Amino acid sequence: MYEQFGIAAISNSVETNLLWGGDRNQIGVLQHHGLVYSADIADAVNSPTTAIRAGLLVGMLTSSGELEEWDAEAQDGTQDLYGVVPQEFSTLDEYATAVDKIPPGPIVRAPLVASSLLIQGAAFVGHDDEFLARRNLQIMGCVLDDDPQGFKTGLINRTLSVAGTTLTPTTAQNGMTFLMSAEGSTTVTLPTCLPGLEYTFIRLTSTANPAFTEGELVVTTAGGADVMIGETADAAVSDVDTLTYTTADQHNGSWVKVRGIYDMGITVPVAKWFVTYNAGNTAAFSVT
């Protein structure tokens, strides 16, 4: 039996500024009505957790078609972002028992205030899954107020020339293609792996000195953690932390692409860099 609203145990309700760019009735807001929120949905950081706040990201359970909090590490359907809770409600009925509810349907497309969004009850901005969520929301057609162009999603093509011999990409550079043209050895140190981050590194001959000697091109993880998977699987070890183009002066056109994903093939999913690359003009390539 579903309950549409019922008597909740919440004594106070706080209006959340979830939308930006106009009033809450703007045409740009698209909601999917008639969906059921599971009795087990939780706002884990709220008190009580049965008080579901506006802005909570939700996914849909494959088994029941009901909505619960979005969990990128789950494998029950809720790992796929479905929408955003539009207004606060309680899962409790008049007997203080959690029941399935049919309050207003989740927002699936709208201009959203990033600071008002919640991932499993925690603040959206700064969460480990923030960039994966930004990517998904962008694909759904949502526009976030702190990044209306979508640069932080990693889906927007951007290119940056790098003249130095060292590089540590930032999360603000998500989706960037870096053109590495320094003479001598060049080292890229990746940031902490977060799902949704993506970078491409291309080794190019210097336009100012086409005859220069290219040293090693090294792409390594932060802290030396073994969090590279993908095309590195043919290495002596299954997970590696460093890729190296070793043959000097033969790297022009070589590239490495990394994308942060959850490795679901283990008991507790871990964020790892999924790696693709080409060997350019050199076969002298190593992973460790």
User: How far apart, in whole angstroms, are the C-alpha atoms of residue 220 and residue 224?
Assistant: 7
Whole-number pLDDT of residue 92: 97
- Please give the average per-residue pLDDT across 51-62, as a whole number: 98
Name the pTM for this structure: 0.86
Q: Which CATH number fits domain 30-148: 2.60.120.650, 3.40.190.10, 2.40.300.10, 3.30.470.10?
A: 2.40.300.10
- Please give the average per-residue pLDDT across 58-63, as a whole number: 98
* 40-44, 106-110, 153-157, 252-256, range with the lowest pLDDT: 252-256
Answer whether residue 234 shows pLDDT above 50: no
Q: Summarize pLDDT for 97-154 with one digit per residue, the tens.
A: 999 999 999 999 999 999 999 999 999 999 999 999 999 999 999 999 999 999 999 9
User: Comparing 116 with 27, which gets the higher pLDDT?
Assistant: 116
> Could you tell me if residue 191 is left (phi over 0), alpha (psi between -120 and 50 degrees) or otherwise beta?
beta
In 147-254 the beta strands, taken as DSSP E runs, fall at 158-162, 166-167, 176-180, 184-189, 198-203, 214-220, 228-230, 242-245
User: How far apart, in whole angstroms, are the C-alpha atoms of residue 49 and residue 39?
Assistant: 11
Whole-number pLDDT of residue 54: 97
* Domain residue ranges of the chain, discontinuous segments joined by +: 30-148, 157-287
